[in-house]
Structure 1
Amino acid sequence: MLWIILAVIVFIVAATFLLFRLEDLSHLDGDNPPVREGKPSPANREVLGRIREMGESSRGLRGKARLMALRKHMDGLSEGLELASEFRFNASPRGEWVLAPGCDTRRRVLYIHGGAWAAGSPRSHRAITDRLSAITGAAVFAVDYRLMPENRFMDGVRDCRDAYSWLLKHGPDGDEPSDFMLIAGDSAGGSHTLGLIAWIRDNGLRQADAAIAFSPSTDLTLTAPSNRNNIGTDPLLGPVFGGLSKIPLPVIWWATLAAFRVSPTSPVASPLRGDLRDLPPTLIQASDTEMLLDNARRYAARAKAAGSPVALHTWPGMVHVWQIFVPLLPEAEEAFEDIRAFLAEVESGDLSPASA
């Protein structure tokens, strides 16, 4: 009996090393771009209160009931905001057009929302998409991609790919070629954003002029140090995902494979581990206290080493995806001004897009 148990253990260990072949990326951890000076503004206390409310909305619930409560709370984030844009539903591809007054419909932004691939929607992220349309002068399309667990992870990936392909030739008023394309996303949507620009390159489509990722999840192997070191300083992700630090990484990898039906080492799920050459100018914004900080750092360092123009700008003490708290949070306003400056560089030719 003992030899059977030992044989099973040996098989599992061997299968783990064969299936999850990991390149050691710890050498990227020494490249730490500077963090902006200063401390969080007083408004950050109100933001932290809203984060606690989100936790309270699902306290005591389990399974589907907990997920439904989280989705409802996230969709309520845009309630009460004074938004200047027109919001227009689109059936196929499913999503929402966000049109600031006077925007140029030949300029387009594909926005991919976050929510751990299981929550979030175009409605939940209207504060971001409204502001993006205003500062870019573009029509924003917030794709309503299929969520887990009702759908497979790859269903959502395909929805984002289809939406981008469609946006190249369609605007809010019908058939119309695009003059400018930007892809942006946060957290899980930031991961989809970074995976999408690589897919565009590999499939010969017209490449986006630029990409923006807020606090992106770039690596589902969870090997970056901040995934553990910043649990206590991340008020949003720490309470939800901090418990994973007690689970051996190989167990997490197998669980991820079972849930996503994609290996956590796949570039589709972990764009950090893909080919990062010939990508468009990309801006990443992250907080120095969030769990995904080193995911952003590693991606930026590896993309730069591959010759792609990537900038990582880091704020001190912000919550994960603090940009969603515009206009309440001054640091969110700063983040959008940072985006405005980045895009001005892109469009002036100071940052050259990768060839399509």
Structure 2
Amino acid sequence: MLWILLAIVALIIVATLVLFRLEDLSHLDSHDYPVRDGHPSEANKKVLGRIREMGESGRGLRGRARLMALRKHMDGLSEGLELESEFRHCPEPRGEWVIAPGVDTARRVLYIHGGAWAAGSPRSHRAITDRFSHIANAAVFAVDYRLMPEHRYMDGVRDCRRAYSWLLENGPDGPEKSEFMVIAGDSAGGSHTLGLLAWIRDNGLKQADAAVALSPSTDLTLTAPSNRNNISTDPLLGPVFGGLAKIPLPVIWWATWAAFRVSPTSPVASPLRGDLSHLPPTLIQASDSEMLLDNARRYAGKATAQGSPIQLHTWPGMVHVWQIFTPLLPEAEDAFDDIGTFLAGVKP
């Protein structure tokens, strides 16, 4: 019996090495990226309180009930905000147009929300999409892509691809070619954003003029140092995903493959693991205290080395995707000013 057990263990080890062949990206961790001066504002205390409320929303619940509570709480993030944009439902492709007064609808932003591919919606991210419409002078389409676990990971990817292809030829008032296209997203949606750029390049579509990724995932292998080093300093992701640090990485890779039905080493799930050449101007924003910091740093370092124009701007002590707390948080307003400056420098 012992030899059978050893044979099974050996087989699993070999299968892991074959299926999850990893390029060592640790050399990218030596890049020195500056962090903005300053400390979190007083308003950050209120933000931390709201994050604690989010954690409390699922207390005592498990499984689907916990997920549904999280979704409901996230959808409530935009309640009470005074937003000037028009919010217009779109049934096909499924999503929501966000149109600030007087914007040029031939200029468009595809926005892909975050939420760990299992939560979030166009409604939950209205604070962000409203600001994007203003600063980009564009009609924003927030795609309502299919979420896990009801759907497969690739279903959501296909929804984003389809939405982008459709936006090239359609505006909020019907068929109209786009004159300026931006793809933007946060966290999981930031990962979808970066993966979409490579898909557009590889499939011969008109490339986006620019992209913005807010605290993007970039890599599901969890091999970046901050994935473990910043657990205690990340008040949003730390309590949810910090426990993964106790699990051997190969076990996490197998579990990810089972849940996503895509290898965590695939560029579709981990854009960092793909070809990052010939991509459009891209701005990445991240916080120096979040678990995904080094995911952003590694992506910026590799893309720059492969000739793509990538900027990484880092804020001190901010929560993951702090931009969603505009206008409460001054640093969120600073981030949108930064995005506006970046987009103003991009020529269609």
> Normalising by structure 1, what TM-score?
0.97
1:147 corresponds in structure 2 to 147
Cα distance in structure 1, aligned partners of 2:197 and 2:132: 19
Q: Secondary structure at the match of 1:201?
A: helix
1:248 corresponds in structure 2 to 248
2:130 corresponds in structure 1 to 130
CA positional deviation for 1:311: 0.2
Superposed CA offset, 1:148-177 (max 9, x none): 000000000000000000000000000000
Cα distance in structure 2, aligned partners of 1:197 and 1:343: 17
Cα distance in structure 1, aligned partners of 2:17 and 2:131: 45
CA positional deviation for 1:184: 0.1
CA positional deviation for 1:32: 2.5
CA positional deviation for 1:134: 0.5
Whether 1:300 aligns to 2:300 is yes
Cα distance in structure 2, aligned partners of 1:32 and 1:260: 33
1:18 corresponds in structure 2 to 18
Amino acid at match of 1:231: I
Cα distance in structure 2, aligned partners of 1:98 and 1:31: 37
CA positional deviation for 1:344: 1.4
1:341 corresponds in structure 2 to 341
Q: Secondary structure at the match of 2:232?
A: helix
Superposed CA offset, 1:32-87 (max 9, x none): 31000000000000000000000000011100000000000000000000000000
CA positional deviation for 1:132: 0.3
2:94 corresponds in structure 1 to 94
2:257 corresponds in structure 1 to 257
Amino acid at match of 2:273: R
Superposed CA offset, 1:231-288 (max 9, x none): 0000000000000000000000000000000000000000000000000000000000
Amino acid at match of 1:76: G
1:352 corresponds in structure 2 to none
Q: Secondary structure at the match of 1:346?
A: coil
Amino acid at match of 2:56: E
1:330 corresponds in structure 2 to 330
Amino acid at match of 1:224: A
Cα distance in structure 1, aligned partners of 2:162 and 2:60: 38
Cα distance in structure 2, aligned partners of 1:50 and 1:243: 22
Whether 1:33 aligns to 2:27 is no
**1:146-295 pair list within 5 angstroms:** 146-295=146-295
Cα distance in structure 1, aligned partners of 2:116 and 2:305: 28
Q: Secondary structure at the match of 1:150?
A: coil
Q: Secondary structure at the match of 1:269?
A: coil
Cα distance in structure 1, aligned partners of 2:60 and 2:252: 24
Cα distance in structure 2, aligned partners of 1:340 and 1:57: 34
1:353 corresponds in structure 2 to none
Cα distance in structure 2, aligned partners of 1:341 and 1:138: 15
Question: Gaps spanning 5+ residues in structure 1: where?
Answer: 350-356
Q: Secondary structure at the match of 1:231?
A: coil
CA positional deviation for 1:98: 0.1
Cα distance in structure 2, aligned partners of 1:312 and 1:120: 25
Cα distance in structure 1, aligned partners of 2:30 and 2:40: 25
Superposed CA offset, 1:172-225 (max 9, x none): 000000000000000000000000000000000000000000000000000000
Q: Secondary structure at the match of 1:46?
A: helix
Cα distance in structure 1, aligned partners of 2:305 and 2:295: 15
Q: Secondary structure at the match of 1:233?
A: coil
Amino acid at match of 1:305: A
**1:1-12 pair list within 5 angstroms:** 1-12=1-12
Cα distance in structure 2, aligned partners of 1:277 and 1:44: 37
Amino acid at match of 1:202: D
Superposed CA offset, 1:100-156 (max 9, x none): 000111000000000000000000000000000001110000000000000000000
Superposed CA offset, 1:324-348 (max 9, x none): 000000000000000011111113x
Cα distance in structure 2, aligned partners of 1:182 and 1:310: 14
Q: Secondary structure at the match of 2:122?
A: coil
1:319 corresponds in structure 2 to 319
Cα distance in structure 2, aligned partners of 1:344 and 1:75: 31
Question: Gaps spanning 5+ residues in structure 2: where?
Answer: none
